[in-house]
Homo-oligomer: A and B are copies of this chain.
Amino acid sequence: MKVFNEKILRVKLKNLSHSTEKLDINVAKKFIGARGLGAKYLYDEIDPKVDALSPENKLIIVNGPATGSNMPTGGRFMVVTKSPLTDGIAYANSGGYWGPAFKGAGYDMLILEDKADKPVYIYLGDNDVVEIKDAAFLWGKTATETTVELQKIHGEKAKVLCIGPGGEKLSRMGAMMNDYDRTAGRGGVGAVMGSKNVKAIVANGTSAFEYPDAEKAKEIAKAKVKFLREQPATGKGLPSMGTAMLVNLVNNNGLFPVRNWQSSFYDKAEDISGETLRDKYLVKRSACYRCPVACGRVVKNAAGENIGGPEFETVWVFGANMDNNDLQVINDANELCNEYGLDTISTGAAIACAMELYEKGYIKDEEIAADGLSLKWGDKKAIVEWVRKTALREGFGDKLAEGSWRLANSYGVPEYSMSVKKQDLPAYDARGMQGQGLNYATCTRGGCHIKGNMNPTEVLAPPEIRLDRFSTEGRAVHVKNTVNLATIVDSLGFCIFIRAVGIPGFIEMTNALYGEEVYTPESIVEASERILTLEKLFNTKAGLTKADDTLPPRLLNEPIPDGPSKGHVNKLHEMLPEYYELRGWDAEGVPKAETLKALGL
């Protein structure tokens, strides 16, 4: 494999045929790869107005130039499709080992079209082997069961990307799972895979990455690993505590939403903190391909078996956000999400939203009586069981599987869904972080932190260079730059957790992959703006408008009632016009003709 194999595999599921075509390397460079390249193909190939769960949608799985290389975290793949949750563009990436095995089979991109008449799985081996096989025996199985079954057939080195019952049953929160418990989680990409009757994609390519100058690349990779080991987050916090290192940091700033965002300081945070997870639950750490950080956790489930541990957002959503301070319950809920193939954030948020709807009297006892489960805050047994019912669409779980926005909307009160573009927000209260709110409101894939996370600049930075998190002044520039950086990382095939290397570091690594100076700081930033604007254009054509670039009314109108961020709301209106202008989008958020021209779109 090379930086790009320059080969696309296209599978027409309707007639179970496949074909390959050449990837134009100039197009690849123009859109960097992975997220950018996927957006380009999705935009060119589907009508943004199609039903996301119809055969007319396509599911694109695509690597970046770094995928499969020896650069730190260079193992990620991206899934791009139209989202059944947001009805805009979805892009979700994952680590583990599947991406390199897919690239090792000789492809850069897999495009799934139409829908198979019955469940299938796809096998990709060396020497151009492509098999589309019956998957009836796998349907209904969990991620682990599916993976074990397929490795029995294809060997233990085969890498499995699959869906669980969540995706099969078209939950709008359905995730794609790979390497047992790695997740492309957000936007319902697993439901799209389920809608196409594809249970799994097994990648078993073994070719190695070929560098123009292997020695130089090795040196650069080594230097970057050293650098990452010296940084506080990637060298110390994340290895020691996983992403849950953030629980105390975020809570101590009064930014950790409690009871579906009714407040934002959790007095029992210590019980579910990264420190507690480490000291009382951690069995060992786990790492994705070529990752020196190893933020992955291994913990035990209730049965005493080793399972993947929860990360920060999961700890929050099944913890503070539903007033549950029992980490074992969080571990168990996380395991179920992984096994059934559900996005943890949206699943937890849907349950928390239901709890508030119950508290406020919208959901009546009789509706959930048959389920035998309560919707009371912090009901430990119920939390885990609601995850199961959501995945299987059992009883009231059928409503939960539609996600918090559609749930709340069915009661006429969508404002109780703490989401943007119907996708649930993560664990940072944007009332106390102005820039984070602008990021939430404008993220092209809907409510999301990771694609422009302002936590490093608004909360984690040393005080003297930290931005005033309550101020909107000049904030749009920062959000723009942070979103650009995340777009670059996503498109190259790296993990966002190594963002500390900065744009110069990413360029150094990427140019070493290519063996030539493909990008300068200016040109890679321009490429990121091209990608962002194309995603925005997709959403515009899909029917999303400025009215979708907003926040839940609670964040705009209800001041945080207590804690260190007490009294604040998000002042999105002070930032949004400047953000649009900086992006070259008009006052309605539609990319201007001159911007499209300047970006070569």
Give A282-331 interface residues, CB cut-off 8 Å to B: none
Interface of A is mostly: helix
In the complex, the answer to whether B456 meets A503 with C-beta atoms within 8 Å is no
A600, CB-defined interface residue at 8 Å: no
- Max chain B Cβ within 10 angstroms of own Cβ: one of A463, A465, A474, A477: A465
Q: CA of A35 to CA of B463 in the docked complex: distance in angstroms?
A: 23
- Max chain B Cβ within 10 angstroms of own Cβ: one of A464, A465, A478: A464
In the complex, the answer to whether B456 meets A502 with C-beta atoms within 8 Å is no
Asked whether A477 and B473 contact (CB < 8 A) given A456-B464, A456-B465, A463-B502, the answer is yes
Quick one: which of B457, B461, B464, B505 contacts A485, CB cutoff 8 A? Answer: B464
1/0 contact string of A476-498 vs chain B (CB within 8 Å):
11100100010000000000000
Name the B residues within 8 Å of A573 (CB-CB).
Answer: none
A500, CB-defined interface residue at 8 Å: yes
Give A166-181 interface residues, CB cut-off 8 Å to B: none
Q: CA of A582 to CA of B471 in the docked complex: distance in angstroms?
A: 14
Name the B residues within 8 Å of A476 (CB-CB).
Answer: 474
Q: List 16 A-B contacts (CB under 8 A).
A: A456-B464, A461-B461, A461-B465, A462-B502, A463-B502, A463-B503, A463-B504, A463-B505, A464-B500, A464-B502, A466-B502, A468-B521, A473-B582, A474-B476, A474-B477, A474-B478
> Which residue of B has the minimal Cβ distance to A503?
B463
Q: CA of A463 to CA of B504 in the docked complex: distance in angstroms?
A: 8
A231, CB-defined interface residue at 8 Å: yes
A518, CB-defined interface residue at 8 Å: no
Q: CA of A504 to CA of B462 in the docked complex: distance in angstroms?
A: 12
Give A431-476 interface residues, CB cut-off 8 Å to B: 456-457, 461-466, 468, 473-474, 476
Name the B residues within 8 Å of A10 (CB-CB).
Answer: none
In the complex, the answer to whether B463 meets A500 with C-beta atoms within 8 Å is yes
**Chain multiplicity (copies):** 2
Name the B residues within 8 Å of A582 (CB-CB).
Answer: 473
A501, CB-defined interface residue at 8 Å: yes
A18, CB-defined interface residue at 8 Å: no
> Which residue of B has the minimal Cβ distance to A521?
B468
Name the B residues within 8 Å of A504 (CB-CB).
Answer: 463
Name the B residues within 8 Å of A477 (CB-CB).
Answer: 473-474
Q: CA of A505 to CA of B463 in the docked complex: distance in angstroms?
A: 8
Give A238-273 interface residues, CB cut-off 8 Å to B: none
> Which residue of B has the minimal Cβ distance to A477?
B474
Q: CA of A476 to CA of B505 in the docked complex: distance in angstroms?
A: 26
> Which residue of B has the minimal Cβ distance to A496?
B464
Name the B residues within 8 Å of A485 (CB-CB).
Answer: 464
Q: CA of A223 to CA of B559 in the docked complex: distance in angstroms?
A: 31
Size band of the interface chain A makes with B: 20 to 34
A376, CB-defined interface residue at 8 Å: no
A499, CB-defined interface residue at 8 Å: yes
Name the B residues within 8 Å of A505 (CB-CB).
Answer: 463
Q: CA of A485 to CA of B456 in the docked complex: distance in angstroms?
A: 20
On A, residues with C-beta under 8 Å from B are: 231, 456-457, 461-466, 468, 473-474, 476-478, 481, 485, 499-505, 521, 582
Name the B residues within 8 Å of A468 (CB-CB).
Answer: 481, 521
- Shortest 8 CB-CB distances between A and B: which pairs? A463-B502, A474-B477, A464-B499, A474-B474, A457-B465, A464-B500, A456-B465, A464-B502
In the complex, the answer to whether A500 meets B462 with C-beta atoms within 8 Å is yes
Q: CA of A106 to CA of B478 in the docked complex: distance in angstroms?
A: 48
Q: CA of A481 to CA of B463 in the docked complex: distance in angstroms?
A: 12
- Max chain B Cβ within 10 angstroms of own Cβ: one of A231, A456, A462, A503: A462
Please name 13 further chain A to chain B contacts, defined as beta carbons within 8 Å, in addition to the given A462-B500, A462-B502, A463-B500, sorted by A numbering: A461-B461, A463-B501, A463-B502, A463-B503, A463-B505, A464-B485, A464-B501, A464-B502, A465-B465, A468-B481, A468-B521, A473-B477, A473-B582
> Which residue of B has the minimal Cβ distance to A504?
B463
> Which residue of B has the minimal Cβ distance to A502?
B463
Distance of A328 from chain B, by nearest CB (Å): 33
Asked whether A231 and B474 contact (CB < 8 A) given A468-B481, A481-B468, the answer is no
Q: CA of A473 to CA of B468 in the docked complex: distance in angstroms?
A: 18
> Which residue of B has the minimal Cβ distance to A505?
B463
Distance of A224 from chain B, by nearest CB (Å): 11
> Which residue of B has the minimal Cβ distance to A474?
B477
Name the B residues within 8 Å of A500 (CB-CB).
Answer: 462-464
Distance of A492 from chain B, by nearest CB (Å): 14
Q: CA of A21 to CA of B39 in the docked complex: distance in angstroms?
A: 73
Name the B residues within 8 Å of A501 (CB-CB).
Answer: 463-464
In the complex, the answer to whether A231 meets B462 with C-beta atoms within 8 Å is yes
> Which residue of B has the minimal Cβ distance to A499?
B464
Name the B residues within 8 Å of A478 (CB-CB).
Answer: 474
- Max chain B Cβ within 10 angstroms of own Cβ: one of A461, A485, A521: A461
> Which residue of B has the minimal Cβ distance to A457?
B465
Q: CA of A465 to CA of B454 in the docked complex: distance in angstroms?
A: 9
Q: CA of A476 to CA of B477 in the docked complex: distance in angstroms?
A: 12
> Which residue of B has the minimal Cβ distance to A233?
B462
Q: CA of A81 to CA of B473 in the docked complex: distance in angstroms?
A: 34
Name the B residues within 8 Å of A503 (CB-CB).
Answer: 463
- Max chain B Cβ within 10 angstroms of own Cβ: one of A463, A501, A503, A505: A463
Q: CA of A501 to CA of B464 in the docked complex: distance in angstroms?
A: 7
